[in-house]
């Protein structure tokens, strides 16, 4: 299981992973986020979405081996965001 840590200092996005309920490590994904949410299609990948200080949504993807760079997914958010995955359809919905 993994999570994005909303309490990370200075608004950065931190990915922490756990095994058997024990925290096994953390990686600072960078960025300056006002809100963040992570989801997975269950295939060993992870998608992290964050709202930047400019209100734009960004995505960072983990392919099972390495992380992509942050990329804009557009839109303007004035509050938090949510991401949901449908593994059967291979679709991630961001709202």
Name the token pair of 65: 């081996």
Q: What's the rounded Cα separation, in Å, for the pair 43 and 66? A: 14
Q: Which residue has the higher pLDDT, 85 or 79?
A: 85
Residue 48, pLDDT score: 93
Q: What's the rounded Cα separation, in Å, for the pair 16 and 23? A: 7
Whether residue 20 is predicted with pLDDT greater than 80 in this model: the reply is yes
Q: Which residue has the higher pLDDT, 10 or 44?
A: 44
Whether residue 5 is predicted with pLDDT greater than 70 in this model: the reply is no
Residue 8, pLDDT score: 41
Coil, helix or strand for 54?
coil
* DSSP character at residue 35: E
Residue 9, pLDDT score: 43
Res. 69 pLDDT band, cuts 50 70 90: very high
């Amino acid at each position: 299981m993994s999570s994005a840590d909303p309490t990370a200092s200075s608004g950065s996005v931190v990915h922490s992973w756990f095994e058997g309920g024990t925290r096994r490590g953390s990686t600072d994904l960078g960025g300056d986020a006002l809100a963040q949410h992570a989801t997975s299609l269950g295939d060993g990948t992870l998608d992290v979405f964050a709202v930047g200080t400019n209100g734009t949504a960004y995505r960072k993807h983990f392919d099972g081996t390495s992380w992509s760079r942050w990329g804009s997914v557009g839109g303007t958010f004035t509050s938090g965001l949510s991401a949901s995955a449908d593994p059967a359809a291979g679709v991630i919905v961001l709202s």
